[in-house]
């Protein structure tokens, strides 16, 4: 102890006064405020964790599928690799001279595989914890748009020629992208501030 | 007191004793083994033994155990390093078992148990020993009974109870020191350094310091993607806990500040306290949490997270060097601002000339004067990234001249600060010297005076050698002062009571010395035969002789 001076006791009222009780109440109020705000921060962090889990599940499914989709035994035609997209013949059923818009995705494209993934697998149960709805697949997270919290960004990564400033160019994987060849993908999710959190990079 | 008896005591003052450092334990090697071991390892009443060190290291090990227990609940951290966690657990258990067995073996020497019929049994059933036992028991329990991992971890939490060995005596001491004091005074004693704080105040400061380091580490590690990805929720909980602790500390400081001298007024005093730099830092340490959570849906306040690093500044409350730097900045502010003004002028001039000479040659790099500011500062500060450089001959010539000027001008603040800093240290050391001189005027140091010297020496980072040199200087100065008094004419000495007292003491000392060294019989015979002494002078002589024979 630095100061060994023995202090003289003062004879004053030692029980807590009104001011002391006010101080104690203020401290308790601040502690409950911190607990409340801390709980909110915890819930938001948990939402982000659950969104990350969504991203991890998608990455896991795509990685596993990617490892098998070029095998002959692979039984998911929508995601099979090695087969170029086959565009169905154009039909003009309504006779307006314009070919009808086919709502079904073309087999051999990402659109068909994505539809299969979100309808026939466990991934159809994914829920965006921020809004309690199916997560959206978007092009990029945007901190100015709070509605993107918990959304998923699925990008294809294309290597640039040697000597380029950036080794890879990322772009959103869209429905018409062919999936007949192996591709490098990246999954990210948007956190509570709509900032991107990278989940995984893998081969599909 | 006699002046002649003061001098040797002053000369004999030892800086190590004065600073309470390196006190060698006075333990006889002839003691029986058990007694000797107790004296060296566990006796709290022998200064210089290893008792405090053992307590300190065991305390640190308990805190480390607490952290590992928390980290074990984070799979991302625990799974890859499971092996190291196990080794650390083994090490901790070994230390705790050795400590337990040592205390058990030495219990008959402990004054708390040695009067009992069975001292070791009394020790085993004492509260602290039960806590010590509970701290190690689960480890051995799992070897014999299959225990659920969660239950085991919970039982291991009991190790924290070992901290009571340090905390309970500190609480008792705090209670003693603050007996008869109000609630607010007790809060003040806990958060502000004072004579009433004792070990509890040190524990409180350490607790806050540990949390500052933890929370700053958390902020830094949050920026590492792999870590924040794995323990994002834990970081959120940690931040809320840190804010809760710092908020309570802030309230306590504001509430109890009226007990500080200069802050007495209930409202103005607290505002004054709230506006001190240290308390503003305390507020900055907690504000980002409240703002970020409350306003996160309105604004993007992620940038506020960086301000959590301001918590590190909380540690400056305990750094005296920072306080000295603050004083230096305030003292040298006029010169610093003049220097900053010259720097600003030079930057504007350089940027303008750069634009003038280089704009045509490099319109993309020297697009306008504001864009040339970057180049000017990088050049004048001798950083020279090289991303923008002059290409015209006249531009290069100008850069040579301005860069040389810049070396001198930009170095001024650094030189000013460094010289002012050392100057301030010299001043404060001189103040300590003057203080020490004043304290030693009466020839000895009170316990309170020693405490002040210790505090000051610690604040000024003085080594034992420096304090010794200071003491030697003071002794010499005191001797010089005495010899100066001797050479002064009596009428000048008589004008100043302090000098007159010193002179009087000096003369009395000489008379005493004469009385001791002279043959009394011969002196008296000579005085009577020559009739050289008056009756009163003779009476004083005889009085001195009587004192001599009594002694």
**B284-309 pLDDT per residue, tens:** 889 888 887 777 666 666 677 777 88
% of chain B with per-residue pLDDT over 70:
92
pLDDT tens by residue, A16-75? 888 899 999 999 999 999 999 899 889 989 999 999 999 999 999 999 998 888 888 888
Residue B470 lies in a domain: no
Asked if residue B160 lies in contact with residue B149, where contact means CB atoms within 8 angstroms, the answer is no
The number of beta carbons lying within 10 Å of the beta carbon of residue B372 is 24
* Residue A42 to residue B237, Cβ atoms within 8 A: yes
Q: Are residues B278 and B368 in the same domain?
A: no
Residue B242 lies in a domain: yes
Give, in order, the Cα–Cα distances in Å from B296 to each of A191, B288, B290, B299: 13, 11, 10, 5
Q: How confident is the model at residue B1 (pLDDT cuts 50, 70, 90)?
A: very low
CATH of the domain at B152: 1.20.120.350
Residue where one domain finishes, among candidates B267, B289, B317: B317
Asked if residue B210 lies in contact with residue B231, where contact means CB atoms within 8 angstroms, the answer is no
How far apart are the C-alpha atoms of B315 and B210, rounded to whole Å? Answer: 10
Residue where one domain finishes, among candidates B317, B342, B367: B317
pLDDT tens by residue, B113-159? 888 889 999 999 988 888 888 888 888 877 777 767 667 767 777 77
Residue B6 lies in a domain: no
How far apart are the C-alpha atoms of A14 and B72, rounded to whole Å? Answer: 44
Asked if residue B193 lies in contact with residue B200, where contact means CB atoms within 8 angstroms, the answer is no
Give, in order, the Cα–Cα distances in Å from B465 to each of B61, B121, B457: 33, 49, 12
Shortest CA gap B239–chain A (Å): 8
Residues B334-356 have a mean pLDDT of 92
CATH of the domain at B414: 1.10.287.70
Nearest by CB: A5 against B202, B297, B448: B448
How far apart are the C-alpha atoms of B297 and A143, rounded to whole Å? Answer: 11
Q: Are residues B499 and B415 in the same domain?
A: no
Question: A184-190 and A152-159 as β-strands: parallel, antiparallel, unpaired?
Answer: antiparallel
- Tokens at residue B461, please? 């980072």
Q: Are residues B354 and B400 in the same domain?
A: yes
pLDDT-flagged residues of chain A (< 50): 1-10
How far apart are the C-alpha atoms of A110 and A114, rounded to whole Å? Answer: 6
Q: Are residues B370 and B413 in the same domain?
A: yes
Interaxial angle between packed helices B232-256 and B198-222, expressed in degrees from 0 to 180 and rounded to the nearest 10: 140
Nearest CA to B288 among B270, B272, B311? Answer: B311
Q: A2 — contact with chain B (CB < 8 Å)?
A: yes
- Own/partner contacts of B346-355, CB < 8 Å, gap of 24 or more, are B346/B380, B346/B402, B346/B405, B346/B406, B346/B409, B347/B373, B347/B376, B347/B377, B347/B380, B348/B376, B349/B402, B350/B376, B350/B379, B350/B380, B350/B402, B350/B406, B351/B375, B351/B376, B353/B398, B353/B402, B354/B390, B354/B395, B354/B398, B354/B399
| A165 phi/psi in degrees, rounded to 5 | -65, -35
Q: How confident is the model at residue B5 (pLDDT cuts 50, 70, 90)?
A: very low
pLDDT of residue B6 exceeding 60: no
How far apart are the C-alpha atoms of B253 and B243, rounded to whole Å? Answer: 15
Interaxial angle between packed helices B464-487 and B3-11, expressed in degrees from 0 to 180 and rounded to the nearest 10: 150
| Residues 6 or more apart whose Cβ sits within 8 Å of residue B524 | B541
pLDDT at B290: 86
Residue B133 lies in a domain: yes
3-state DSSP call for residue B459? Answer: helix
Virtual CA dihedral for B438, B444, B448, B451, nearest 10 degrees?
A: 80
Q: Are residues B384 and B498 in the same domain?
A: no
- Tokens at residue B363, please? 């319109």
Q: How confident is the model at residue B490 (pLDDT cuts 50, 70, 90)?
A: confident
pLDDT tens by residue, B227-250? 888 888 888 899 999 999 999 999
Q: Are residues B167 and B186 in the same domain?
A: no
How far apart are the C-alpha atoms of B296 and B290, rounded to whole Å? Answer: 10
Domains in chain B, number: 4
Nearest by CB: B182 against A13, A49, A52: A13
Residues B427-443 have a mean pLDDT of 75
Give, in order, the Cα–Cα distances in Å from B196 to each of B32, B181, B458: 39, 10, 20
* Helix or strand (DSSP H, E) at B59: helix B51-72
Shortest CA gap A152–chain B (Å): 16
What ipTM, to 2 d.p.? Answer: 0.79
Q: Are residues B100 and B218 in the same domain?
A: no
For tokens 């709509």, the residue is A194
The HSE-up count of residue B533 (CA atoms within 13 Å, CB side) is 15
Where in the sequence is the domain holding B442, given as residue range(s)? 319-462
| Residues 6 or more apart whose Cβ sits within 8 Å of residue B403 | B379, B380, B382
Residue B231 lies in a domain: yes
* Residue A38 to residue B451, Cβ atoms within 8 A: no
pLDDT tens by residue, B86-101? 899 899 989 999 999 9
Q: Are residues B152 and B284 in the same domain?
A: no
Encode A44-76 in three state secondary structure: HHHHHHHHHHHHHHHHHHHHHHHHHCCCCCCCC
How far apart are the C-alpha atoms of B155 and B134, rounded to whole Å? Answer: 8
pLDDT of residue B185 exceeding 70: yes
pLDDT tens by residue, B15-72? 666 665 556 777 888 889 999 999 999 888 887 888 888 888 888 888 888 888 888 8
| Residues 6 or more apart whose Cβ sits within 8 Å of residue B306 | B219
Asked if residue A146 lies in contact with residue A163, where contact means CB atoms within 8 angstroms, the answer is no
How far apart are the C-alpha atoms of B341 and A74, rounded to whole Å? Answer: 75
Shortest CA gap B154–chain A (Å): 23
The string over B408-431, giving b where at least 16 C-beta atoms fall within 10 Å of a residue's C-beta and e elsewhere, is ebbebbeebbeebbeebbeebbee
Q: Are residues B154 and B285 in the same domain?
A: no
Residues B409-427 have a mean pLDDT of 86
Asked if residue B39 lies in contact with residue B25, where contact means CB atoms within 8 angstroms, the answer is yes
Residue where one domain finishes, among candidates B177, B206, B225: B177
Give chain B's mean pLDDT.
83
pLDDT at B396: 94
Q: A200 — contact with chain B (CB < 8 Å)?
A: no
* Residue B183 to residue A10, Cβ atoms within 8 A: no
Nearest by CB: A9 against B180, B183, B239: B180
- Own/partner contacts of B535-543, CB < 8 Å, gap of 24 or more, are B541/B515
Q: Are residues B359 and B311 in the same domain?
A: no
pLDDT at A9: 46
How far apart are the C-alpha atoms of B377 and B385, rounded to whole Å? Answer: 11
What is the rounded radius of gyration, in angstroms, for the C-alpha atoms of chain B? 35
* Residue A45 to residue B236, Cβ atoms within 8 A: yes
Q: B182 — contact with chain A (CB < 8 Å)?
A: yes
């Amino acid at each position: 102890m630095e100061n060994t001076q023995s202090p003289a006791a003062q004879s004053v009222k030692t029980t807590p006064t009104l001011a002391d009780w006010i101080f104690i109440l203020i401290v308790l109020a601040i502690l409950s405020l911190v607990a409340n705000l801390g709980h909110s921060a915890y819930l938001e962090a948990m939402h982000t964790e659950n969104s990350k889990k969504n991203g991890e599940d998608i990455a896991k499914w795509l990685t596993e599928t990617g490892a098998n989709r070029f095998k002959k035994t692979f039984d998911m035609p929508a995601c099979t690799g090695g087969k170029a997209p086959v565009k169905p013949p154009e039909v003009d059923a309504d006779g307006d001279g314009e070919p009808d818009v086919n709502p079904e995705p073309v087999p051999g494209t990402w659109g068909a595989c994505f539809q299969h993934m979100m309808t026939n697998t466990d991934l159809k149960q994914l829920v965006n914890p921020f809004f309690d709805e199916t997560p959206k697949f978007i092009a990029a997270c945007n901190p100015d748009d709070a509605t993107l919290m918990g959304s998923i960004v699925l990008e294809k990564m294309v290597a640039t020629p040697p000597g380029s400033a950036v080794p890879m160019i990322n772009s959103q994987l869209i429905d018409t992208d062919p999936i007949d060849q192996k591709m490098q993908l990246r999954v990210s999710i948007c956190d509570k501030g709509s900032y991107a959190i990278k989940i995984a990079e893998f081969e599909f | 007191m006699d002046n002649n008896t003061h001098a040797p005591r002053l000369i004999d003052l030892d800086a190590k004793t004065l600073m309470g450092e390196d006190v060698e334990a006075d333990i006889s090697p002839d003691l029986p083994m058990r007694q000797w071991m107790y004296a060296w390892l566990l006796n709290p009443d022998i200064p210089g033994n290893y008792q405090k060190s053992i307590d300190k290291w065991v305390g640190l090990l308990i805190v480390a155990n607490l952290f590992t227990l928390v980290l074990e609940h984070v799979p991302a951290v625990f799974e890859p390093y499971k092996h190291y966690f196990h080794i650390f657990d083994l090490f901790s258990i070994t230390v705790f078992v050795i400590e337990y067995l040592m205390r058990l073996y030495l219990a008959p020497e402990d004054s708390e148990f040695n009067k009992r019929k069975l001292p070791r049994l009394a020790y085993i059933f004492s509260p602290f020993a039960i806590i010590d036992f509970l701290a190690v028991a689960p480890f051995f329990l799992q070897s014999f009974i299959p225990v659920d991992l969660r239950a085991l971890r919970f039982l291991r939490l009991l190790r924290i109870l070992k901290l009571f060995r340090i905390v309970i005596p500190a609480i008792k001491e705090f209670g003693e020191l603050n007996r008869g004091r109000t609630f607010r005074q007790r809060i003040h004693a806990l958060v502000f350094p004072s004579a009433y704080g004792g070990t509890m105040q040190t524990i409180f400061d350490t607790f806050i310091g540990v949390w500052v380091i933890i929370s700053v580490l958390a902020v830094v590690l949050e920026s590492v993607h792999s870590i924040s990805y794995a323990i994002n929720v834990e970081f959120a909980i940690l931040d809320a806990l840190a804010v809760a602790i710092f908020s309570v500390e802030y309230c306590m400081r504001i509430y109890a500040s009226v007990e500080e001298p200069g802050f007495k007024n209930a409202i103005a005093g607290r505002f004054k306290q709230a506006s001190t730099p240290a308390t503003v830092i305390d507020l900055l340490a907690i504000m980002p949490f409240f703002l970020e959570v409350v306003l996160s849906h309105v604004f993007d306040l992620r940038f506020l997270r960086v301000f959590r690093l301001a918590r590190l500044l909380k540690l400056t409350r305990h750094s005296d060097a920072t306080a000295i730097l603050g004083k230096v900045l305030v003292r040298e502010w006029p010169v610093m601002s003049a220097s900053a003004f010259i720097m600003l002028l030079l930057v504007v001039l350089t940027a303008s000339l750069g634009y003038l000479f280089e704009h045509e040659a490099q319109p993309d790099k020297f697009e306008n004067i504001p864009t040339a500011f970057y180049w000017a500062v990088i050049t004048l500060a001798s950083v020279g990234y090289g991303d923008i450089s002059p290409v015209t001959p006249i531009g290069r010539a100008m850069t040579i001249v301005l860069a040389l000027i810049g070396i001198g001008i930009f170095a001024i603040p650094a030189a000013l600060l460094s010289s002012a800093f050392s100057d301030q240290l010299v001043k404060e050391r001189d103040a300590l010297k003057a203080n020490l001189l004043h304290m030693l005027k009466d020839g000895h140091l009170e316990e309170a005076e020693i405490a002040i010297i210790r505090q000051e020496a610690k604040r000024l980072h003085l080594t034992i050698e420096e304090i010794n040199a200071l003491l030697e200087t003071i002794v010499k100065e005191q001797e010089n002062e005495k010899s100066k008094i001797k050479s002064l004419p009596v009428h000048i000495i008589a004008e100043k009571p302090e000098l007159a007292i010193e002179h009087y003491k000096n003369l009395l000392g000489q008379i005493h010395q004469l009385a001791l060294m002279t043959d009394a019989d011969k002196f008296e015979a000579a005085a009577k035969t020559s009739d050289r002494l008056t009756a009163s002078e003779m009476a004083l002589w005889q009085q001195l002789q009587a004192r001599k024979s009594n002694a």
